[in-house]
Amino acid sequence: EFNTGIMVGMAIVFVYAVLGGMKGITYTQVAQYCVMIFAYTVPAIFISLIITGNPVPQLGFISNVRGEDVAMLEKLNTVVQDLGFQEYTQTNKTMIDMFAITGALMFGTAGLPHVIIRFFTVSSPRAARVSAGWALVFIALLYTTAPAVASFARLNFIDTVNESTYVADDADYVAEAAEIVAEGGKPIPEWFKDWERTGLLGVEDKNGDGVIQYRAGDENEVTKLDRDIFVMANPSIANLPDWVIGLVVAGGLAAALSTAAGLLMVISSSISHDLCRRTFFTSMSDKDELRVARASAAGAVILAGIMGMNTAKLGFVAQVVAFAFGLAAASLFPVIVLGIFWKRMNREGAIASMLTGLVSTFSYIYYFKFVDTDPVNWWFGVSPEGIGFLFMFVSLTVGVVVALFTPAPPQEVQDLVEDIRVPGTRRPHGAGDAAQMPS
């Protein structure tokens, strides 16, 4: 059950994030990434071999279909067009919207808090650069596999579901499916029945012929198709072994827990250290700071759980993630860039910049998701998923203007900024301290 799964995940993340601390989460995330990358790429390799004969998904994506003299994407375009859908390689978004979404994802990645906090565990600017380089390699390995997985899943879904005979009796599926095959038909796959029980897939035999037609328009008999299931269902759709399916489930769980734990650490350390100890209660002891960190972590977990149970109102998972990237691009990325490359940047400018990006982007997303949902009214034709890219420039401008009209930062802060940019192994002030945080 969906809400039960969220509550179990909340408990797991809270326990190992609070007990493990920064160092514990670092090693945990290494292990989780290993599980996640294997879970994502192994099925992609198998499916790429089955469809194209190429074991590299990134190359199989642009290769010919196995045994046919036609490119995989070309065949997919033909198949979906024959069913009345738009070409797979085309989009219904405008060029400016696609550009804005791409920009929000790119700059948002550089501003993600749980990624930035990883650099607290290295000892020097040089180590941070090496760490960032390797991070980009591993991120690219995962991201470049995604388009291949999506196209393979769409082709396999159509091939296995369209024109298949529906089996109504779950208890006697095997016998009914065997009977359909014996009569020369194609039974609806068992994985479809499994996902149908979750409510994320649904069919309606509109013409009463017992055969499922997957079409565009009113004739479509696949009445419910949740886009969030495709990564998890992909191995089943391709009829891969059970251990591969189990690996994907483990990878999905690892991805969710890894990201949640990183964000939880950011939230708890920001509230306990940056806000409480360094701003409002400067005489706070280490023990009190730790208590505040754990309390804020508990509060963040509860709030995230409540919001997670209501994500359907915002959109599917990929869409909600795009909102997060847009918020990071607009509120955090400008401050990071100005803080590193402009010594004149001060606290007032940073706060003004972050608030501008956060409030403006969040307001736009909320308004056009819940108040005015007509895309015609989007500013400059940019969707809520991409608006963070535009507000990033507004946030950057506000930060510069406010910094110029307020006092410059102390000289020691400017020296720290200079140290951060100097190549070599010189240890900047406070670097690596987070790695020694008590758990």
What pLDDT is recorded for position 201?
83
Look at the chain and report how many structural domains it folds into. Answer: 1
Averaged pLDDT, 208-228: 80
For 370-397, the pLDDT digits (tens) are: 888 888 888 988 888 889 999 999 999 9
Q: Is residue 276 situated within a structural domain?
A: no
Q: Is residue 191 situated within a structural domain?
A: yes
- Dihedrals phi, psi of 216, to nearest 5 degrees: -85, 150
For 99-133, the pLDDT digits (tens) are: 999 899 889 888 887 777 777 777 777 787 888 88
Residue 64 in 3-state DSSP? strand
Q: What is the mean pLDDT of the chain?
A: 81
Q: Which domain holds residue 201?
A: 150-230
Q: Is residue 205 situated within a structural domain?
A: yes
What pLDDT is recorded for position 216?
83
Q: Which two tokens stand for residue 305?
A: 């759980």
Averaged pLDDT, 128-144: 83
For 157-188, the pLDDT digits (tens) are: 888 888 888 887 666 777 888 888 888 888 88
Highest mean pLDDT among 151-160, 166-175, 217-226: 151-160
What pLDDT is recorded for position 432?
43
Q: Is residue 120 situated within a structural domain?
A: no
Q: Is residue 126 situated within a structural domain?
A: no
Q: Is residue 163 situated within a structural domain?
A: yes
Q: Is residue 278 situated within a structural domain?
A: no
* pTM attached to this predicted model: 0.73
Q: Is residue 393 situated within a structural domain?
A: no
Which pairs from 91-100 meet CB under 8 Å and 24+ separation?
93/383, 94/381, 96/380, 96/381, 96/382, 97/378, 97/381, 97/382, 97/383, 97/386, 98/386, 99/386, 99/389, 100/382, 100/383, 100/386, 100/387, 100/389, 100/390
